[in-house]
Amino acid sequence: MVGGDGINDTNMISVTGQKDVEGTIATCPCAPATAAKGTFVSDYKAKFSVDPAVYADVSYDLANVFLDGIAAGKTSRADLLAFLGSYNKAGGASGVTYKWESTGELDPTQVKVWAYEAKAGAWVPKQEIPKG
**How confident is the model at residue 14, as a pLDDT?**
85
**How confident is the model at residue 18, as a pLDDT?**
81
Pairing of strands 25-28, 2-3: parallel
Q: Where are the alpha helices (DSSP H) in 1-132?
A: 10-16, 18-21, 40-48, 56-71, 77-86
Domains, the chain, ordered by start: 1-29+112-132 (no CATH), 35-111 (3.40.50.2300)
Amino acid at the residue 31: A
Cα 88 to Cα 32, 58, 95: the distances in Å are 22, 15, 12
pTM: 0.84
Q: Digits of tens for pLDDT over the chain (132 positions)?
A: 677 778 888 888 888 888 888 999 999 898 999 999 999 999 999 999 999 988 999 999 999 999 999 999 999 999 999 999 999 999 999 999 999 998 989 999 888 899 999 999 889 999 999 987
For the chain, the C-alpha Rg in angstroms (whole number) is 17
